[in-house]
Amino acid sequence: MILQKFQDNVISRGEMAFMLFGGKYSHAVLKKAKAGDFRVHEDYGGSVHEYMASKNEIDFAEHLISICDQFP
């Protein structure tokens, strides 16, 4: 389960998703909601686009995963 505060920028900008394997960044996508909706999933009319992550975003994602790996 994931609980998170609703982010208004998901409607205007989209939601970034980062894929990491073995703790290392692979690629990212930008998921966008259809007009008038907030749900980015394709089942609800959302679309998936290529996203070129910045070095800072990649470093941050890899750092978060390294922290999570410390817990069993």
Q: Which uninterrupted H or E stretch holds 61?
A: helix 55-68
User: So what's the pLDDT on residue 43?
Assistant: 94
9-68, which class in CATH?
Answer: alpha beta
Q: What is the DSSP string of 6-30?
A: --THHHHT-EEEEEEETTEEEEEEE
User: So what's the pLDDT on residue 6?
Assistant: 83
Using the Cα atoms of residue 65, residue 67, residue 69 and residue 71 in order, give the sign of their dihedral: negative
User: So what's the pLDDT on residue 26?
Assistant: 97
Under-70 pLDDT residues of the chain = 1-3
User: So what's the pLDDT on residue 5?
Assistant: 81
Q: Where are the chain's structural domains?
A: 9-68
**In angstroms, rounded to a whole number, what is the distance separating the alpha carbons of residues 39 and 4?**
14
